[in-house]
Structure 1
Amino acid sequence: MYLGLDLGTSGVKAMLIDGDQHVIGSATGSLDVSRPHPGWSEQDPAHWIAATEEAVAALKAAHPAALAAVRGIGLSGHMHGATLIDADDKVLRPCILWNDTRSFAEAASLDADPRFRALTGNIVFPGFTAPKLVWVKNNEPDIFARVAKVLLPKDYLRLWLSGEHISEMSDSAGTSWLDTGKRAWSSELLAATDLQEGQMPRLVEGTEQAGTLRAELAAAWGMQPGVVIAGGAGDNAASACGMGTVAEGQAFVSLGTSGVLFAANGSYLPKPESAVHAFCHALPDTWHQMGVILSATDALNWHARVTGRSAGDLAAEVGDHLKAPTGVTFLPYLSGERTPHNDAKIRGAFIGLGHETGRAELTQAVMEGVTFAIRDSLEALKSAGTSIGRVTAIGGGSRSRYWLASIATALGLPVDIPADGDFGAAFGAARLGLIAATGADPLAVCTAPKTAETVEPVLALTSAYDEAYHRYRALYPAIRGI
């Protein structure tokens, strides 16, 4: 048996699979996000441990024999988080999360140093880890002076699980300290933020062994000693392992809290000025590109809170059959935006409201706004040299056939829906645990699921969608200065 642990923004998911990759069971421990000031987003790492224990306890209650047979554990987690620990491995402050934008000035300053784009292959985004450390140095110097290690969120879980300071390539590529082409920490970039390589965890590939489970935890969970922990992956790379998106030409679109258009690459293809992320993949000698938008289902959830309806009710009110855009446009920049704008200060807007506009039209506009933001990512990927012929849809938003038809039509690409099953980050993490524990061929393990259905572009609405997209594109520069 193999266990995948996925540390998400809203919870920790634990998934058990067997050696044939059949899902035995899964469970979740819940998490909350603290937003003490505008633009801030934090979590207490102690809550990650509590949520993991909650999820594993539920698995143990439901599948005690299967949990006892675990031989490998894989880790996945939300990227870019700054988890700061002292020389005694004590947490110094709440983790600054991926969607925290307080360090936008520090990010701009680092990005102005040409070494960062040249070595990392990426813009220094405010959500990345390095500018957060500069912010801490500037605003919490006593804490900065005590930092012994900087860990990404899933790697703090690894520290608790194994007692070791280890990370891997896919997650570390999102820090702005990794030489992404060489797959190694850059002492030059670390020095530019007054840090040293000794303050970073040791690096391995996502498929490699990266510690073993502490004896006391193994005993508490009913496992045998020596359970291997894999290097694991950042959440999007782990989802790609779960979806089998690991070879050149494969791609997926994720409609989760954030939105991602992810393409696997057989070589390193950076183009930072496009605001496309060029990161290491979880498998050795592979890379990936992705466009990232900060609010996908989060935009629909915001609309649900404002209207007092559930997101599911709002989606049902729109229906399943795609309609032409109404003229109401939504810009989904509720937390700023990454691809293609790299703008932490921009905020969302409804444009084109009239007396005839109702709740359903607003919901349709929210979905279309997220769709057009994903098309922005597609255009950016094209400019970076990546060609995509079709995408597979994952994430909670992919349950909406309307949304998928909207994406297919806006992108001009078929959207595949995988057969029933959970092929997300927790499953990908469990696959990495299997590979690390058994030495199996990663490409033989990380295969794609069967396609249950394909949503094709609605050709009759292509021109209407193109017109609406160009209207959407014109709005960002129009509102940027106000």
Structure 2
Amino acid sequence: MLLLGIDVGTSSIKVSVVDSQTQDAIASAQYPEDTENKVISVQPGFAEQDPNTWWEHTQLAISAVLARDQVNASDISAVGIAYQMHGLVVVDEEGQPLRNSIIWCDSRAVELGEEAFESIGHEKSLERLLNSPGNFTAAKWAWVKQNEPDVYKTAHKIMLPGDFIAMKLTGEMTTSISALSEGVFWDFQSNSLSADVMRHFDFEDNIFPELRPLFSEHGTLQQSVAQKLGLKPGTTVSYKSGDQPNNALSLNVLRPGEVAATAGTSGVIFAVSDQLVSDKESRINTFAHVNYTEDDIRTGVLLCINGTGILNSWVKQTMGQSLSYSEINQLASSIPPGSEGLSILPFGNGAERIFNNRIIGSHFLNLNFNHHNRAHVFRAAQEGIAFAFRYGLDILRENGMNPSIIRAGIANMFQSKLFAQVFSNVTNTPVELYNNDGSVGAAIGAGIGSGAFASYDEAFEKMKVQETIEPESNHPYEELYSQWHHLLTDKINK
């Protein structure tokens, strides 16, 4: 039995086919392959993508993976979807997008979210929503209501990016508690839509798709779609999750105290708790994990840094276009720790939650034109990203999350041995690396949702650690982090 996983990322769509017997990915493909999806930014702080482009690229990625010799499309029994979190997709009655999706790193709705935080009350928001509304999906929908009244009046449903792709596959519109919680629409005390959020923004309840369990049938493939893609009509879409809970699932991070990390366009540390955790300053966020139920609380306490891998990508595009990432990593490794005084703050991708939704920008500090070259920049970028993770991890530690080990997939920044080692050194935490990624996690989720796996334990019984990175002895990164933190504090206080 084969399982198909789709990961709707910011930069590309990745698809994997997993054999449920071996639990191995037998084929993967992504689209675009050599470039990245465009983020539309018509003015500073705006970030949008076209949902129809996601769908077009999803179809191309599925077609590419099904063309692999080792894949028999008729053996695919279920489909799972992971997706970039917090995006707003607005559709009409025919399921057609009424505007571009306002995606996760868009900052336009911060003020509206802050107004809601004040109106609802800080204590009540953190107790019931576990977050301030910030610039999450609820605030983005409020922005559309305020600035695009024709779109607001015409809208039939709003949904998350994964809900949209599932709708295109099945023709059905569904969502989950986890999805509503990541949009900050969910009240964890009443286990229902937040009356406070709906009342403050004057939203209608019927704007949301049908609520279903995350691991359940979210529809079956429409005959026309199945025929076009070469899949069986009636194949079940049995799992949908935001990318960070899904990344945790892919690493078998499901129990209280377990921690996952990812460093793609943005960087995330995701800690599982059996408590309704909130940070007094709302610098971290708590959402319903994939295995959350009212009777068995499993929340994901999420530390997000918008500017991580996007810095590494920008550095490559501007200073290393002719180089592969492997060559960039080799050049970075030739420079000593600390990049000979060059420091980079990686926060150039919109408002950062860890700074109370402030935009502080990215900064290159102590750059010496007579000494530093691009190799220094390559290393300083990776160190700056690792330092940002340490800054965030310290906030998690303030809130009782003290990981003894962090799990990560060998993907994105964790493909760099230099970055993985610096990350382990500066956080003083071992890192276990696995061969899983978001699309593999989505496929495994499809297996759990469809019953191909009888339990979570069975779904991961064959998962193996590929490598463990231990903090080195006598490394200089505690002092180097202190220096970087001092530079950051100067920028924050200005």
Of residues 299, 303, 317, the one that matches 2:311 is: 299
- Are the structure 2 counterparts of residues 453 and 105 from structure 1 closer, same or farther at C-alpha, using a change threshold of 3 Å? same
Report whether the alignment pairs 1:417 with 2:433: yes
Residues 65, 361 of structure 1: alpha-carbon distance in 2 compared, 3 angstrom cutoff: closer
Q: Is the 8 A contact 1:241 1:446 kept in 2?
A: no
Which position in structure 2 is the counterpart of 1:151?
159
Please give the secondary structure, in 2, of the residue aligned with 1:23: strand
Aligned with residue 125 of structure 2, among 110, 116, 122:
116
Task: Give the superposition deviation at 1:146.
Answer: 1.7
The one-letter code matched in structure 1 to 2:444 is R
Partner of 2:25: 23
The number of residue pairs the alignment matches comes to 476
Aligned-residue sequence identity (percent) comes to 26
The DSSP-based 3-state class of the residue aligned with 1:36 is coil
Gapped regions of structure 2 (runs ≥ 5): none
| Residue of 398, 401, 404 corresponding to 2:414 | 398
Q: Per the alignment, in what secondary structure is the counterpart of residue 209 of structure 1?
A: coil
Alpha-carbon deviation of 1:337? 4.6
Shift of 1:272: 5.0
Match of 2:104 among 73, 80, 98: 98
Structure 1 position 379, deviation (Å): 0.8
Structure 1 residue 313: Cα displacement: 3.0
Q: Distance in 1 between matches of 2:173 and 2:192?
A: 15
CA shift at 1:320, angstroms?
7.4
Q: Which residue of structure 2 aligns with residue 164 of structure 1?
A: 172
Measure, in 2, the Cα distance between the counterparts of 1:353 and 1:11.
33
1:450 aligns with 2:464: yes
* Superposed displacement of residue 104, structure 1: 2.2
1:479 and 1:213, CA in 2 relative to 1: closer, same or farther beyond 3 A? same
Structure 1 match to 2:72? 66
Find the residue that maps to 2:218 and give its secondary structure. Answer: strand
Check the 8 A contact 1:333/1:348 in 2, yes or no.
yes
Secondary structure at the residue paired with 1:135?
helix
Matching residue of 1:244: 252
1:190–1:196 CA contact under 8 A, matched in 2:
yes
Equivalent residue for 1:184, pick from 174, 177, 192: 192
Contact 1:238 / 1:424 at 8 angstroms: preserved in 2?
A: no
Aligned to 2:6: 5
Q: 2:480 aligns with which of 456, 468, 472?
A: 468
1:182-229 Cα shifts (integer Å, max 9, x gaps)? 553223312322212210122233222222221222333344343221
Which deviates the most, 115-124 or 170-179? 115-124
Further displaced range: 66-75 or 111-120 = 111-120
Tell me how far 1:8 sits from its aligned partner. 0.7
How does the TM-score come out when normalised to structure 1? 0.92
Query: Unmatched 5+ residue regions in structure 1?
Result: none
Contact 1:107/1:125 (CA < 8 Å) preserved in 2? yes
The answer to whether the aligner puts 1:372 opposite 2:387 as a matched pair is: yes
Cα distance in 1 for residues equivalent to 2:39 and 2:331: 29
Corresponding position of 1:140: 148
Q: Deviations over 1:163-200 (max 9, x none)?
A: 22211233332211112455532233123222122101
Go from structure 1 to structure 2 and tell me whether the alpha carbon gap of 1:181 and 1:435 turns closer, same or farther (over 3 Å shift): farther
**Given residue 458 of structure 2, which amino acid in structure 1 is its aligned partner?**
A
Larger CA deviation: 308-317 vs 390-399: 308-317
* Partner secondary structure for residue 133 of structure 1: helix
The alpha-carbon deviation at position 64 of structure 1 amounts to: 8.5
User: Where in structure 2 are the equivalents of 1:273-352 lying within 5 Å?
Assistant: 273-285=281-293, 286-309=298-321, 310=323, 311-319=325-333, 323-324=337-338, 326-352=340-366
Q: Secondary structure at the match of 1:198?
A: helix
Q: Take 2:98 and 2:4, find their aligned partners in 1: how far apart are those partners?
A: 29
> Among residues 402, 418, 424, which one is paired with 1:408 in the alignment?
424
Look up the SS of the partner of 1:248 in the other structure: coil
Task: Return the alpha-carbon distance in structure 2 between the equivalents of residues 315 and 65 of structure 1.
Answer: 34
Aligned with residue 46 of structure 2, among 40, 45, 48: 40
Counterpart position of 1:199 = 207
Deviation of 1:81 after TM superposition, in Å, equals: 0.6
**Is residue 105–residue 350 contact of structure 2 (8 Å, CA) maintained in 1?**
no
1:298, distance to aligned residue in structure 2 (A): 0.9
Question: Partner letter of residue 23 of structure 1?
Answer: A
CA distance 1:202–1:235, change in 2 (3 Å) = same
1:259 Cα offset (Å): 0.6
Q: Distance in 2 between matches of 1:179 and 1:480?
A: 32
Q: Is the 8 A contact 2:257 2:271 kept in 1?
A: yes
Q: Secondary structure at the match of 2:355?
A: coil
Shift of 1:371: 0.8
Cα deviation, 1:428-468, whole Å, max 9, x if unaligned, reads: 1111111121262134314583122222112212xx32222
The question of whether the paired residues in 2 share the 8 Å contact of 1:77 and 1:154 is answered with: yes
Residue type of the alignment partner of 1:48? W
Q: Is the Cα–Cα contact under 8 Å of residues 42 and 100 in structure 1 kept in the other structure?
A: yes
| SS of equivalent to 2:219 | strand
Cα distance change on mapping 1:319 and 1:473 into 2, 3 Å: closer
Confirm whether residue 427 of structure 1 aligns to residue 440 of structure 2.
Answer: yes
Q: Secondary structure at the match of 2:400?
A: coil
Per-residue CA deviation, residues 45-84 of structure 1 (Å, 9 max, x unaligned), is: 1111111110111123225862212221111100111101
Question: Relative to 1, partners in 2 of residues 1:272 and 1:210: Cα closer, same or farther, differing over 3 Å?
Answer: farther
Q: Distance in 2 between matches of 1:197 and 1:14?
A: 33
Amino acid at match of 1:125: G
Provide the rounded CA distance (Å) in 1 between the counterparts of 2:488 and 2:110. 19
Cα shift at 1:138 = 2.0
Q: Using the TM superposition, give the Cα deviation of residue 308 of structure 1 relative to its aligned residue in structure 2, in angstroms.
A: 4.0
Aligned-pair CA distance for 1:110: 2.0
2:20 aligns to what SS in structure 1? Answer: coil
